[in-house]
Amino acid sequence: MSFFNGKIVLVTGGARGIGYLMGMKSLQRGARKLIIWDLDEDALIEAASRLTKQGFLVETDQVDVSDATQVQEAAERVLQEQTVDVLFNNAGIVSGKKFHEQNPEEMEKTMDVNSLGLMYVARNLLPAMMDQEKGYIINIASAAGLTPNPGMTVYAASKWAAVGWSESLKLELEKNGTGINVLTVMPSYINTGMFAGVTAPFLMPLLDPDDITTKVLDAVERGKARLREPFMVKLTPFFRGVLPAKVYDFVAGKIFGVYDSMDTFLGRKRESE
């Protein structure tokens, strides 16, 4: 029997991209209900329509995860009826500019969505999980939270914060015996359009959305705490730990081309996932 069987699943940024795929696959694996939070109302309507036509139970809400009040109010609406068993903390935005080109509003929004947004959502749903002594929180971070990368300084900062918080939360919940698992997902570039124009580093091809979302759900089924993809991303912490800084920068920048990957970045007009 699948881990997802009979579960209530909530996905932020779930109306499109990998958020939509993770929600859909949760339903296909037996989830009882899917709750989708997203900022794009039209995308929410379309996603719900596609899934309900397949016979799935879907609930949607238009939520800006960077707004603490909105998140609290949306969580209260959800918790009036049920406890969320599985949370996919997926909503995120990309800020692909050189640091001197960033304005304060862009910096604040990137940090709010990619870092604080994860915390706001988890903070409001976690107590109910703790009451039932079970639950799973999946935080979609990034390989950018493991290594520096010019051209995405603010984005990298937001993901470093996300990784640090997510892994600390995992240890805290384990230490306190809550019965709640945390999975930190750290993928390289995913081919969803969010990173349109990037140059994939050597040995790190763009990840296929269908493939990476299946791996995320498989990791949940196995109770894993970390998922890093593709394979070279798994080695990043080791290389950064054993190599002198200048040597690591040479390997990452000159050999693998990580530091040039954002030079061709285009993005898309609407960057939220």
DSSP string of the chain, one letter each residue: --TTTT-EEEEETTTSHHHHHHHHHHHHTT-SEEEEEES-HHHHHHHHHHHHTTT--EEEEE--TT-HHHHHHHHHHHHTT---SEEEE-------S-GGG--HHHHHHHHIIIIIHHHHHHHHHHHHHHHHT-EEEEEE--GGGTS--TT-HHHHHHHHHHHHHHHHHHHHHHHTT--EEEEEEEE--BTTTTTTT--PPTT-PPBPHHHHHHHHHHHHHTT-SEEEESHHHHHHHHHHHHS-HHHHHHIIIIIS-GGGTTTT----SS---
State which residues of the chain have pLDDT below 70.
203, 267-273
Q: Is 267 inside any structural domain?
A: no
Q: CA separation (Å) from 131 to 86, 127, 158?
A: 14, 6, 30
Integer distance in angstroms from the first to the last C-alpha of the chain? 30
Q: How far apart (Å, rounded) are the C-alpha atoms in residues 264 and 244?
A: 28
Q: Is 266 inside any structural domain?
A: no
CA angle 66, 266, 234 (to 5 degrees): 70
Q: CA separation (Å) from 17 to 63, 107, 225, 258, 271?
A: 17, 23, 23, 24, 11
Q: Which of 34, 84, 81 is nearest to 54 (CA)?
A: 34
Q: Is 53 inside any structural domain?
A: yes
Whole-structure pTM value: 0.93
Domain extent at residue 43: 8-260
Cis peptide before 230 (omega within 30 of 0): yes
Q: Is 158 inside any structural domain?
A: yes
Question: Which residues fall within 8 angstroms of residue 52, CB to CB, at 6 or more apart?
Answer: 58
Q: Is 113 inside any structural domain?
A: yes
Retrieve residue 181's tokens: 């698992």
**What pLDDT sits at residue 44?**
98
Q: Is 64 inside any structural domain?
A: yes
Q: Which of 16, 90, 22, 11 is nearest to 47 (CA)?
A: 16
Q: Is 273 inside any structural domain?
A: no
Q: What are phi and psi of 139, to 5 degrees?
A: -100, 115
Count of the separate structural domains present in the chain: 1
Provide the greatest CA pair distance for the chain: 55
**CATH number, position 111:** 3.40.50.720
Q: What amino acid positions are annotated as catalytic residues?
A: 155
The answer to whether residues 149 and 195 touch, using CB atoms and an 8 Å cutoff, is: no
Q: Is 272 inside any structural domain?
A: no
Q: How far apart (Å, rounded) are the C-alpha atoms in residues 134 and 183?
A: 14
